[in-house]
Amino acid sequence: MMSIQTLEQFVMEQQALFPTAKGEFTRLLQAISLAAKIVHREVNKAGLADILGKQGNCNVQGEEQQKLDVFADHHFMDVLKRGGECCYLASEEHEDGIELTKTKRYHIGKYMVYFDPLDGSSNIDSNVSVGTIFSIYKRKSAEGPLQAEDFNQTGREQVAAGYVIYGSSTMLVYTTGRGVHGFTLDPSIGEFCLSHPSLTIPKNGRVYSVNESNYNQFPTAIKQYLQYCKEIDAETKRPYSSRYIGSLVADFHRNMIQGGVFLYPETVQYPDGKLRLMYECNPLAFIAEQAGGKASTGVIPIMDIEPTYLHQRTALIIGSEMMVDMVERYIHEHIHVESNLV
């Protein structure tokens, strides 16, 4: 009979590798997994409960909130506040981050958590997979109010990152910089169980994920790469397949398992890119690199970007290393050609 290892057991074993660890990070991951279970429960009964549809408000991004956006944000915020391991929480759904202070109800810890509570929520009414993305940092300053050095950390300084995908099964995937591990929720026991140890992204793939309705707004280099994907070439097994779900977590997770590249480049409408650096791109870039993949703007690695504000946007090219390399090659060649014309 195959043994089952739960997320809690796995994290406790990892904690034992660090004699000075006090268990705060273990408790933080437990809190995140609890919030994920609550959202999983609600997502799975969405067709039966009054949780589908629009909330009627817009978030700070100007995007119309779904009821499940608000539900997921509330429960992640509440669970993370109660745990006592965090000193700062930032969500896609709020204009400003929340700096926690000690009260009779809440204690504060040393971790800063950035999260997208429900990525792809506009798809929920269509029963399409959605997800949660989270990024964890450790404050640099001593006790007291947080300082600029705490907020200006690049993706390289993440201590952990992960995502939860609510699909045909609910799965939590995370890294602490020691590989990537996936845990599938077993509803019969209410626990995330290790199902995908030491996940790796195939070096190459045959799938590209991009919203091609934006094609006319894409930079020339991206248009050229997409034409490359569609050309017939037996040696490189082209044309590639186009697969775009519209939920970042779902598109990324498929490419994690099967190989592929996800592209959301800058456009005329979003000249700096559309996806958010702190709670979408950085955590997925950390996971991608730890799994043997790559994440880039097309010019520099995502995790080398120095953040300047909470809701900072960036272009994102992420997935199999060889496919990301090819996109970068087209971009660099175009930049070279343009520089020679000046």
- For the chain, domain boundaries: 7-196, 207-341
Q: How many angstroms separate the CA atoms of 119 and 130, rounded?
A: 6
- Cite the annotated binding site by residue number: 92, 116, 118-122, 211, 244, 274, 280
DSSP 219-279: -HHHHHHHHHHHS-BTTTTBSPEE---S-HHHHHHHHHHH--EEEE---SS-TT-SEEIII
- Cite the annotated binding site for Mg(2+) by residue number: 92, 116, 118-119, 280
Q: Are 258 and 205 in contact (CB under 8 A)?
A: yes
pLDDT tens, the chain, 342 aa long: 567 899 999 998 888 777 666 789 999 999 999 999 999 988 887 554 454 445 445 555 555 567 888 999 999 999 999 988 999 999 998 999 999 976 666 668 999 999 999 998 877 777 789 999 999 999 999 878 899 999 999 999 999 999 999 988 999 999 999 999 999 999 999 999 999 999 999 999 999 999 999 999 999 999 999 999 999 999 999 999 999 999 999 999 999 999 999 999 999 999 999 999 999 999 999 999 999 999 999 999 999 999 999 999 999 999 999 999 999 999 999 886 665 555
- Cite the annotated binding site for substrate by residue number: 119-122, 211, 244, 274
Query: Has domain 207-341 been given CATH number 3.40.50.300?
Result: no
Q: How many angstroms separate the CA atoms of 194 and 10, rounded?
A: 8
Identify the CATH number of the domain defined by range 7-196: 3.30.540.10
Q: Are 294 and 318 in contact (CB under 8 A)?
A: yes
Q: How many angstroms separate the CA atoms of 163 and 239, rounded?
A: 30
